[in-house]
Structure 1
Amino acid sequence: MNKNVPDIRLSFPPDENPHYIRAITQVGDTQEVIAHVDIFESNGMKLVAKGTRIDSRLFNRLTQHRLTAPLDSMLTAKHPVNTHSLVMELDSVVKHEAVYRRILTRTGDPHAMKQALSSMQLAPEVMLRLTVMRERRPELFMHSIHTALIAFALAQSLDLPEGQRAAILLGALCHDFGEMHTDPEILVAEHDITQDERRYIHVHPITGHVLVQGLSGFSNDATLAILQHHERLDGSGYPNALQGDSIAMPARVLAVADVAETAIRRFDLLRVEMLFRLGQKRFDSNIVNALRDLLHITTTDAQNMRPARNATAQVEHMTALLETWITLRGIIRQEAAPAKADTTALEFLFERMATMRSLILQAGFDPESMASMLVIAQDDPDMLAELRHMLDELEWLASDLANEIDRRSPQLSPPAQGALNGLLVQLQQMK
């Protein structure tokens, strides 16, 4: 077994996940969700009669028994997400969000996505899942809409075959189905995700892949896009740490679109560019270049950057991180000695810390004297702007590295895990 691949298992069969079933029953509290067939337990006992309204009162009955078929295939919502409602969502995004209007316009055919959505044949199970997502996880639903828009625009710009465009669109709409099987409590912004909880997040591409297999309309391209959308070209992704050509083209497109949507939502367009520049080994360069053309970042975008973070606090955190690294790298090198099984698993750490140091040097600053940077830059607006930009890049690298350590930690020996704890604390303070 590749030690870089996390040990990821489904905690429940996908169709029996209690978090998703609870979400379905909660939707039933606010709109009609009807059983369009009798629902049976695997031993033949009828649990719910055809025509029954499904709501929270039935949660225990539906979760305490093994069903003969996935619940999705036996329910119908009165106000489902369908192709018509998806087109309306797209129209709303284009009308109210300038970035996405720009992206579609720069494809040269801004109406192509609406036409593609209108011609889609969504399986009933997909419509129900999208409905549950819209009603119970609206932020995830809009993430899926935005990601689908970016992914389809990229497929247009890359002149991919029509079949692949359709597969990418469907895969993007459904790429986070697996996240609805994660306990929503661990996904709230205020919650500090533990190492064990992060494993449930890492399993969501597998869950989503299992959920859509066999459904009408899903080609191999669409299912692979869902399974592989968190894989990275350098092998740093999950769930299978695939590299290079092992990652299907639709998944590469979806990976760029997924990250771009998150960055646009959380940051600004200049930081989107920064993120992909730092991750150039991870993403397909042709797809990233197509994204740059679609975003077409201008001087106006630069003027609309979000307020800068507290540079003093950022410098203090980076200083503490580098000091911790100097202390720990000797210990960690011993754990990564050629005779140790942790060698490959820890290579990424030295590479990422070297990238941080190189970034500081390239900006013309001294990694050994971070505190003096701010003092020098205070009287020079151009230097201060460059320093802030560099600190933002370092902060993103630190956050990404913290997640990577969390993901790989179960595959490391106890001494290696212990050596990384101090570094992980410093990295998490920079999030």
Structure 2
Amino acid sequence: MTDTLEPAGLDAADSPHYLRALTDMADRRAVVADSAIYTANGIKLVEKGARIDSRLYDRLVQHKLREPIDRHLSIDNPVDVPALLAATQALTEQEALPALLAQTLGSAARLLAPLRSLPLPPSMACKLTVMRDQRPQLFQHSLQMMTVAIYLGIKSALTERDCGALAAAALLHDLGVLHMDPVWDDPNHKVVGPQRKHLVAHPISAMLMIRDTQAYPRSVEVAVLEHHERMDGSGYPRALAGADITPMGRILLLAEVVAAFYEKYDDMPAQRLSLVLRLNHRKFPSTLVSHILPLLQEEMTRESALMPLGNDAPRQIELLAEAFSHWDQLKAALPVAAAAKAAPHGAFAFADARLMALQKALIEAGSHPQQQNEMMAQMKGDAVGMAEVALVGREALWQLQSILNASHRRWPQLSERATPEDAAVADWCDWVVRRL
């Protein structure tokens, strides 16, 4: 099943970005080769007992190694199970979301329990140590997402063994990001079109690295592969939908979103998250969402006492209305025959279905631009209400961007405008880029 996702050149081997992070880390902590390191052609690159540091980077990066380098390393103060327990305990004491989860379960001990029997072979310990030292935000994200996943596993009555597998999948789900250019960490770095293939590939890379250890159940590999899927089929890398996503994969995809909102937003994360889960109810597993929404209610009550910002709501409503109208104009301009013969799984059908689904979701939430124009007139002075309108607008605009990204990712030839239908989608995407 997953083997079909292994394009040429994509395997569990070390990327230049990972080798750079590893050798840079080795300048600050002792990293020693506990066995000789060979190239795929049998040439010895590093002697047993040699100290690894950044001076070796150029030498290592020029060769494909016989095995991943972290199978051969001994590291001072690595991430091991006791270190994970200590870091997760600290998280439940210092961060709002893990603290809320621990409080709801009665103690942090229930969140920590699945970690105690976690398999952590040397190669995984090495990758997590690189993540902790070189990409600390990614390490914190992995820990926080793991606490959400364990919480959802407990609330779903998973066995202790399954919760352990779930903890491993959540902890290791973003190993593939270590092989991506760190420029992706820059919030100002915006990549669209074919370059997004690196982002789409990271669940596959992580799955292959986990498989390579032969230390985890297949359910862990598959769940990691699925952590960016969506219940409506709009996710990646396989665009799975509904029952095609495994139970553990569903937990991971929701835990990823929950953790990300608390990490991304300092202001009103509970209200933002609640809105997104309600507005996108087709994307997320409803049974699992029902375990999250009640947690957010008390937080939302506290957040509503703050002074939310809703000044950008009118502009967002205008942009949404224009985006929907522009698509309707492009559709109307198509020859009747072209629209009728559009491929059912092509770019035109995809964009049309996604835009219709977004409009339907907005109508169901009472937040379509036509509805909001009337609401705005009644909300003067209602700061909390204006904030809700602004949040809906931001989420809907983000979804427009996601339609654009998915269209370019799935149909990179769109810019060639080979058919009238492709031209309509390409024109709409160009309009979105200009306006957003």
TM-score normalised by length of structure 2: 0.87
C-alpha offsets along residues 82-130 of structure 1, whole Å, 9 cap, x if unaligned? 1111112112211111222111221245312222223323111111001
Stretch deviating more after TM superposition (341-350 or 242-251): 341-350
C-alpha offsets along residues 53-109 of structure 1, whole Å, 9 cap, x if unaligned? 212211121111222211110112212111111112112211111222111221245
Stretch deviating more after TM superposition (381-390 or 252-261): 381-390
Q: Which residue of 1 aligns with 2:74?
A: 76
Q: Which residue of 2 aligns with 1:303?
A: 305
Shift of 1:396: 3.6
- CA–CA distance in structure 2, aligned partners of residues 184 and 11 of structure 1: 20
Stretch deviating more after TM superposition (420-429 or 27-36): 420-429
Task: Note if contact 1:20-1:181 (Cα within 8 Å) is conserved in structure 2.
Answer: yes
- CA–CA distance in structure 2, aligned partners of residues 417 and 78 of structure 1: 55
Task: Flag the 1:383–1:167 CA change in 2: closer, same or farther, 3 A.
Answer: closer
C-alpha offsets along residues 366-414 of structure 1, whole Å, 9 cap, x if unaligned? 7469778756644666764553343234234323333322332327564
The amino acid that maps onto 1:353 is: L
DSSP-derived class of the 2:401 partner: helix
Q: Which residue of 1 aligns with 2:390?
A: 388
Q: Which residue of 2 aligns with 1:420?
A: 425
Stretch deviating more after TM superposition (190-199 or 102-111): 102-111
- CA–CA distance in structure 1, aligned partners of residues 334 and 18 of structure 2: 41
User: Superposition pairs for residues 30-429 of structure 1, below 5 Å?
Assistant: 30-267=28-265, 268-298=269-299, 299-304=301-306, 307-308=309-310, 310-331=312-333, 337-341=339-343, 343-358=345-360, 361=363, 367=369, 377-378=379-380, 384-385=386-387, 387-410=389-412, 414-415=418-419, 416-428=421-433
Task: Note if contact 2:78-2:129 (Cα within 8 Å) is conserved in structure 1.
Answer: yes
- CA–CA distance in structure 2, aligned partners of residues 362 and 242 of structure 1: 24
The amino acid that maps onto 1:315 is: I
Shift of 1:143: 0.8
Shift of 1:249: 0.9
Task: Flag the 1:28–1:364 CA change in 2: closer, same or farther, 3 A.
Answer: closer
The amino acid that maps onto 1:424 is: C
Q: Which of the pair has the greater relative contact order for Cα pairs under 8 Å at 6+ separation?
A: 1
Task: Note if contact 2:342-2:348 (Cα within 8 Å) is conserved in structure 1.
Answer: no
The amino acid that maps onto 1:45 is: I
RMSD: 3.0
- CA–CA distance in structure 2, aligned partners of residues 366 and 251 of structure 1: 31
The amino acid that maps onto 1:281 is: R
Structure 1: runs of 5+ lacking an equivalent: 1-5
DSSP-derived class of the 1:160 partner: coil
- CA–CA distance in structure 2, aligned partners of residues 281 and 360 of structure 1: 12
Report how many aligned residue pairs link the two structures.
Answer: 426
Stretch deviating more after TM superposition (102-111 or 207-216): 102-111
Structure 2: runs of 5+ lacking an equivalent: none
DSSP-derived class of the 1:117 partner: helix
Task: Flag the 1:270–1:177 CA change in 2: closer, same or farther, 3 A.
Answer: same
- CA–CA distance in structure 2, aligned partners of residues 294 and 210 of structure 1: 35
DSSP-derived class of the 1:65 partner: coil
Task: Note if contact 2:23-2:53 (Cα within 8 Å) is conserved in structure 1.
Answer: yes
Task: Note if contact 2:5-2:204 (Cα within 8 Å) is conserved in structure 1.
Answer: no
- CA–CA distance in structure 1, aligned partners of residues 6 and 193 of structure 2: 13
DSSP-derived class of the 2:67 partner: coil
- CA–CA distance in structure 2, aligned partners of residues 242 and 346 of structure 1: 20
Task: Note if contact 2:274-2:296 (Cα within 8 Å) is conserved in structure 1.
Answer: no
DSSP-derived class of the 1:76 partner: strand
The amino acid that maps onto 1:252 is: R
- CA–CA distance in structure 2, aligned partners of residues 111 and 336 of structure 1: 61
Stretch deviating more after TM superposition (125-134 or 377-386): 377-386
Task: Flag the 1:410–1:180 CA change in 2: closer, same or farther, 3 A.
Answer: same
- CA–CA distance in structure 1, aligned partners of residues 86 and 240 of structure 2: 37
Shift of 1:349: 2.2
Stretch deviating more after TM superposition (215-224 or 409-418): 409-418
Task: Flag the 1:81–1:308 CA change in 2: closer, same or farther, 3 A.
Answer: farther
